[in-house]
């Protein structure tokens, strides 16, 4: 470490003095004028080894300041450290944050370039939010706000549990005409009870459910009461019904002897009438609860619980009605072949024999009968 008061050798020194002064100047130059304080006499481009800060410094060309080059022992250490922390343009891995700052409301952009197409990301303190900008750099198709709301100009908005479906083509941030919401919200119970609602679609005004699906599996369509279309899981309701439809009510079910449809006044009432497919005998039945029934057999016959079977023949002992006027076949006054086909039955006969059946004529009389 050496510094000299002057780099000028006086005129006409003695041999020993010249040697001493030249050696001191050479040592100062070799040692970069190292010392705890700056040299008193400076020159442009002069080096100074600052042993207080342990930094190597160089005098500016204007000879008005010192430029810090780096540590005395390795003045390239700072440059090397900086270079090592740079990201390679050909691909690299960053271990620290990358800040794209700007003094205006819009930050510097992060471009994702593919050929001539170059969409980018940027922050916007005026929103505030994080924006996706299109390749033409003239629209923001999507914004993620600080409050967690995700806005897509032609897609959807998600905030506070909502997904908002917007009309296509709107570039408005809020309040565009033509929108609907998908929401899971136990606060809007819609008659199901607190916390019972699963999810649903809400109208444009965001004040009514257009469609909702409750946690118990029931669903509601606005304009139709939820009870119009209802399914009951497991073994059904207290009357055993697993589904019901409309205000009538019509209840649908399947029992151990075949499927049936029940008709009743209200949902809480048991059935009044039932029609039922009995798969044991393949009969189709109409049954009144506590009353009679009508059964359609698979051979085309019909049975009434009070009147019995309606078939092509009257039961033995049945009292029947005529289904036609009286017809006569004759006269028969000698050997005669006479055919009387179905459905005619013999009602009686008529004669004009005047007591002499041999010479008189006979007529057979018949009618058609009604089963019931």
Q: Where are the beta strands (DSSP E) in 82-119?
A: 110-111
**Whether 329 contacts 338, CB under 8 Å:** yes
Torsion of CA 233, 234, 235, 237, to 10 degrees: -30
Residues 214, 77: Cα–Cα separation, whole Å: 68
Phi/psi for 51 (5° steps) reads: -75, -10
Average pLDDT of each block of 10 consecutive residues along the chain (372 residues)? 76 79 83 90 92 92 93 83 78 82 87 87 86 87 83 61 53 49 60 56 75 71 64 63 63 69 78 85 90 89 83 61 79 75 78 65 80 55
Nearest CA to 73 out of 113, 37, 32 is that of 32
**Whether 211 contacts 219, CB under 8 Å:** yes
Domain boundaries, given as residue ranges, for the chain: 15-82, 230-311, 321-370
pTM of the model: 0.36
Residues 297, 308: Cα–Cα separation, whole Å: 12
Give the model's pLDDT for residue 208. 76
Nearest CA to 206 out of 227, 226, 187, 225 is that of 187
Q: In sequence order, which residues have a C-beta less than 8 Å from that of residue 357 and are 6 or more positions away? A: 351
Q: And the tokens for 13?
A: 């020194």
Give the model's pLDDT for residue 287. 92
């Amino acid at each position: 470490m050496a510094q000299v008061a002057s780099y000028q050798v006086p005129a006409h020194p003695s041999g020993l003095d010249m040697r001493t002064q030249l050696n001191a100047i050479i040592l100062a130059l070799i040692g970069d004028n190292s010392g705890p304080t700056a040299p008193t006499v400076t020159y442009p481009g002069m080096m100074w080894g600052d042993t207080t800060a342990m930094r190597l410094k160089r005098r500016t060309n204007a000879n008005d300041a010192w430029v810090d080059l780096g540590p005395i022992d390795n003045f390239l250490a700072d440059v090397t450290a900086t270079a090592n922390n740079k990201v390679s343009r050909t691909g690299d891995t960053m271990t620290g944050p990358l800040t794209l700052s700007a003094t205006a409301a819009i930050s510097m952009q992060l471009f994702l370039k593919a050929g001539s197409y170059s969409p980018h990301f940027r922050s916007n303190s005026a929103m505030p939010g994080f924006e996706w900008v299109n390749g033409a750099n003239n629209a923001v198709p999507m914004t993620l706000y600080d409050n967690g709301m995700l806005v897509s100009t032609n897609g959807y908005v998600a905030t506070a549990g909502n997904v908002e479906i917007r009309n296509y083509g709107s570039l408005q941030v809020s309040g565009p005409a033509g929108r609907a919401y998908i929401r899971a919200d136990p606060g809007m119970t819609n008659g199901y009870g607190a916390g019972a609602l699963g999810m649903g679609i809400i109208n444009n005004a965001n004040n009514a459910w257009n469609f909702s699906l409750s946690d118990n599996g029931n669903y509601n369509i606005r304009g139709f009461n939820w009870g119009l279309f209802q399914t009951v899981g497991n073994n059904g309701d207290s009357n055993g019904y697993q589904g019901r439809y409309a205000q009538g009510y019509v209840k649908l079910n399947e029992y151990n002897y075949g499927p049936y449809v029940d008709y009743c006044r209200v949902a809480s009432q048991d059935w009044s009438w039932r029609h039922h497919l009995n798969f044991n005998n393949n009969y189709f039945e109409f049954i009144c609860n506590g009353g009679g029934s009508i059964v359609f057999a698979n051979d085309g016959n019909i049975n009434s619980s009070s009147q019995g079977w309606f078939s092509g023949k009257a039961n033995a002992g049945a009292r029947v009605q005529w289904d036609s006027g009286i017809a006569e076949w004759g006269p028969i006054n000698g050997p005669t072949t006479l055919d009387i086909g179905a459905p005619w039955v013999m009602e009686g006969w008529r004669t004009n024999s005047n007591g002499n059946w041999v010479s008189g004529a006979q007529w057979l009389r018949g009618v058609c009968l009604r089963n019931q």
